[in-house]
């Protein structure tokens, strides 16, 4: 009943909306999706789920409009679906990689089949505006010189759309080709292709049950068709056409009669095998000799280019396996990885005894060399502090680049400046503390209040209405929160969140929720560092790279201050002298108390390890007054056969 009523009312009550929708679809090339139609017809944004049912009701009964299989609306007359289409366009593209948003088309071919007419064959190289990767050149034979004189896609887009028209599009792994074409159309300001798409890959999967692989060349061989190995767009389009026509014969033998039968397989069948489209691998660019001398051991690897410059530093719990994984790395997914592998000319490795030390050494080497393909930890100078100016009569919470001896409390440095900035903003938005730069050292700081007072975001110390004890109470909450006590501010933050939800401002509520989560994680990181710093002076004993050697780390307030390798060549007395000298120097140096920009990454790594294993047998507190000889004796008696803590981020996603 509801459907009948909706159908009747759509031609009367919503006639003006129907005409607006049809005009909008025509204006956008005869094809448009729900999201943009909702915005144009109803004048709202971000409410597609709410308005789409009414939109469908309005458009459902109008003969001028039909819905495509992908859900888009069109005013273009489509091919009748009572049989296999007699007119269609076969398409193939070659590209600089595998991601449409990042990479570009370099070769395109179209073959339009029309009943009673010769096929229309069109092809062109395309200037991508960038160099052609080496593995693509080897794969296709297309080089920079060939595309350098070719037209850009923007001068070809209109021609391609004219040839394709409203015909069904046929391709082998056609989503790949359409993805690239539509990405190029979007850059040119042209409408997307939303034509019916027929994919020969799942059709072959269904109709050739004996096929072991489904790459285009494999399917061609399975069907006994002539094969072309050029791997160019036109050659592949011609083979795709032959494959499609052969598969239609088998489809008829199966009893399939309509395009819907084909589409059911193309869009609904789950592929039993991977696509088989030829993808370049790192081994095509890398020298196999790089692996010969790399051991199966934890450590750090340093990649260098032909000029012996360090271009990447990485860590691994198994160096041989990690470096070997670059040889099977698929090319074309990221320009960064392709650039790294193309630049690689040599690999050095350093073996260490534990994963923890591999992490710390990696951090140290990244800071030293600043490799261009490392993005994390490379710019430590940009790490930020949060400053609470407790020396001021009316303290503020601000960002700071450096720690100064000015009586203020500093937190950090934080490796994410954005999260530190979010924390400062969240604190200032939650508590009525001032954000102005008044010094309050003389009368010039008084009077002339800013807009924050009228907005009730400041308690107004500049006009004498603020209570100093109440203000200090707010600041003490901030200090507790930044020291790692989440409960100091979380009730106020959650109250803000609940108020935002109650006002039905769900978008702002989601932003506030995410901001609270990020800032809480930031505070927890600071708490870990504080916990590590609470050990004061300590010794951490780790296995050396070659037993029975061991590494003795001297930690001062959570940071590595010195490290010594103990083996048969070092006497106990030498180690005692070295440790005693290091402690004397650390106690005379103020900077030993706080991590700085260059030590915070290492300190954070140690803090995570200590948090998981605060009572680990290898961590020996060095209390004031303890004899260095006793500390060394304990360090040499640590049983290295007991498993050490494993750092969970060691073999996580590589940032190259």
pLDDT tens across 464-504, in order?
778 889 899 999 999 988 888 878 888 888 888 888 888 88
Q: What is the distance of C-alpha 369 from the center of its chain?
A: 24
Cα(137)–Cα(150) distance, rounded to whole angstroms?
16
Least confident of 244-248, 435-439, 444-448, 547-551: 444-448
pLDDT(268) > 70: no
Q: What is the distance of C-alpha 388 from the center of its chain?
A: 33
Q: Indicate the SS3 state at residue 253.
A: helix
pTM of this structure: 0.52
Q: Which residue has the higher pLDDT, 270 or 424?
A: 424
Q: Which residue has the higher pLDDT, 330 or 584?
A: 584
Instruction: Tell me which H or E stretch contains 170.
Output: strand 169-171
pLDDT tens across 196-220, in order?
889 999 899 888 887 878 889 989 8
Q: Is residue 618 within 8 Å of residue 606, measured between CB atoms?
A: no
The percentage of residues in the chain with a pLDDT greater than 90, rounded to a whole number, is 25
Instruction: Give me the pLDDT at residue 335, please.
Output: 67
Instruction: Give me the pLDDT at residue 179, please.
Output: 92
Cα angle value 203/111/140 (rounded, 5°): 80
* Rg of the chain over all Cα atoms, to the nearest angstrom: 33
pLDDT(656) > 70: no
pLDDT(6) > 50: no
**Helix axis angle, 506-533 to 490-502, nearest 10°:** 170
Cα(347)–Cα(341) distance, rounded to whole angstroms?
11
Instruction: Give me the pLDDT at residue 147, please.
Output: 95
Instruction: Give me the pLDDT at residue 616, please.
Output: 77
Query: Which is nearest to 463 in space by CA: 492, 443, 481?
Result: 443
Q: Indicate the SS3 state at residue 480.
A: helix
Beta bridge partners of 95: 105
Helix and strand counts by DSSP (H, E) for the chain = 23, 18
Q: Which residue has the higher pLDDT, 622 or 257?
A: 622
Q: Which residue has the higher pLDDT, 426 or 302?
A: 302
- CB crowding 483-513: b at 16 or more within 10 Å, else e: ebeeebbeeebeebbeebeeeeeeeebeebe
Q: Is residue 73 within 8 Å of residue 65, measured between CB atoms?
A: yes
Q: Indicate the SS3 state at residue 61.
A: coil
How many Cβ atoms sit within 10 Å of the Cβ of residue 11? 12
Instruction: Give me the pLDDT at residue 86, please.
Output: 84
Please report, for residues 306, 326, 366, the alpha-carbon distance to residue 341 in angstroms, rounded to integers and kept in the order given: 12, 8, 18
Burial class (CB within 10 angstroms; exposed 0-12, middle 13-18, buried 19+) of 616:
middle
Query: Which is nearest to 593 in space by CA: 535, 551, 553?
Result: 535
Which range of 160-169, 208-217, 521-530, 623-632 scores highest in mean pLDDT? It is 160-169
DSSP line for 610-635 = HHH-TT-TTEEE--TT--HHHHHHHH
Least confident of 22-26, 89-93, 415-419, 583-587: 415-419
pLDDT tens across 310-367, in order?
999 999 989 999 999 898 887 766 667 878 888 888 999 999 988 888 988 998 898 8
Please state whether beta strands 299-304 and 169-171 pair in parallel, antiparallel, or not at all (unpaired): unpaired
pLDDT tens across 54-82, in order?
777 777 656 677 665 456 777 754 443 33
State the pLDDT confidence band at 416, using cuts at 50, 70 and 90.
Answer: confident
Q: Indicate the SS3 state at residue 320.
A: helix
pLDDT tens across 19-48, in order?
888 888 888 777 788 888 888 877 765 556
């Amino acid at each position: 009943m509801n459907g009948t009523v909706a159908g009747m009312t759509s031609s009367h009550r919503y006639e003006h909306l129907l005409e607006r929708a049809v005009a909008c679809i025509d204006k956008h090339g005869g094809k448009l999706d729900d999201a943009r139609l909702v915005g144009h017809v109803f004048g709202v944004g971000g409410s597609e789920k709410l308005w789409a049912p009414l939109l469908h009701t309005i458009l459902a009964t109008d003969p001028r409009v039909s819905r495509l299989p992908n859900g888009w609306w069109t005013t273009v007359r489509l091919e009748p679906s009572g049989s296999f289409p007699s007119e269609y366009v076969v398409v193939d593209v070659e590209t600089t990689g595998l991601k449409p948003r990042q990479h570009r088309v370099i070769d395109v071919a179209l073959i339009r089949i029309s009943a009673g007419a010769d096929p229309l064959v069109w092809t062109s190289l395309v200037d991508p505006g960038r160099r052609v990767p080496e593995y693509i050149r080897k794969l296709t034979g297309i080089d920079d010189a060939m595309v350098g004189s070719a037209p850009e896609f923007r001068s070809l887009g209109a021609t391609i759309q004219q040839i394709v028209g409203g015909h069904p599009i046929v391709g082998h792994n056609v989503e790949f080709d359409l993805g690239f074409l539509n990405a190029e159309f979007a850059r040119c300001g042209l409408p997307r292709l939303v034509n019916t798409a027929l994919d020969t890959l799942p059709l072959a999967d269904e109709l050739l049950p004996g096929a072991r692989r489904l790459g285009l060349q494999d399917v061609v061989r399975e069907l006994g068709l002539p094969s072309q190995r050029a791997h160019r767009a036109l050659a592949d389009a011609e083979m795709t056409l032959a494959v499609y026509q052969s598969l239609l014969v088998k489809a008829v033998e199966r009893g399939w009669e309509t395009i819907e039968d084909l589409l059911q397989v193309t869009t609904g069948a789950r592929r039993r095998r991977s696509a088989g489209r030829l993808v370049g691998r790192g081994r095509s660019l890398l020298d196999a000799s790089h692996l010969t001398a790399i051991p199966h051991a934890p450590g750090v690897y340093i990649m260098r280019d032909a000029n012996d410059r360090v271009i990447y530093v990485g860590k691994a719990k198994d160096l041989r396996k990690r470096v070997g994984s670059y040889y099977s790395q698929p090319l074309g997914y990221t320009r960064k990885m392709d650039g790294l592998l193309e630049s690689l000319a040599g690999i050095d490795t350093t073996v260490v005894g534990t994963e923890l030390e591999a992490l710390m050494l990696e951090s140290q080497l990244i800071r030293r060399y600043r490799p261009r393909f490392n993005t994390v930890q490379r710019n430590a100078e940009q790490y930020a502090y949060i400053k609470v100016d407790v020396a001021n009569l009316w303290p503020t919470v601000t960002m700071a680049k450096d720690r100064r001896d000015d009586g203020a409390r500093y937190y950090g440095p934080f490796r994410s400046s954005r999260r530190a900035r979010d924390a400062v903003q969240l604190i200032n938005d939650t508590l009525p503390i001032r954000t102005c730069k008044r010094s309050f050292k003389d009368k010039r700081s008084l009077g002339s209040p800013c807009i924050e007072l009228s907005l009730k975001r400041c308690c107004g110390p500049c006009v004498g209405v603020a209570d100093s004890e109440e203000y200090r109470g707010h600041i003490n909450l901030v200090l507790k929160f930044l020291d790692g006590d989440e409960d100091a501010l979380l009730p106020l933050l959650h109250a803000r969140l609940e108020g935002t939800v109650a006002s039905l401002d769900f978008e702002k509520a989601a932003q506030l929720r995410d901001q609270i989560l990020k800032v809480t994680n930031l505070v927890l990181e600071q708490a870990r560092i504080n916990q590590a710093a609470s050990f004061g002076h300590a010794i951490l004993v780790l296995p050396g790279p070659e037993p029975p050697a061991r590494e003795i780390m001297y930690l001062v307030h959570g940071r590595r201050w010195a490290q010594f390798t103990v083996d048969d060549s070092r006497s106990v007395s030498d180690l005692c002298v070295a440790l005693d000298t290091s402690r004397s120097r650390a106690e005379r140096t103020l900077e030993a108390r706080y991590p700085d920009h260059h030590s915070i990454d290492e300190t954070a790594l140690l803090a995570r390890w200590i948090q998981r294993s605060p009572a680990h047998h290898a961590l020996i507190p060095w209390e004031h007054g303890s004899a260095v000889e006793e500390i060394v004796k304990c360090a040499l008696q640590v049983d290295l056969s007991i498993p050490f803590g494993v750092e969970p981020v060691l073999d996580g996603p590589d940032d190259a």
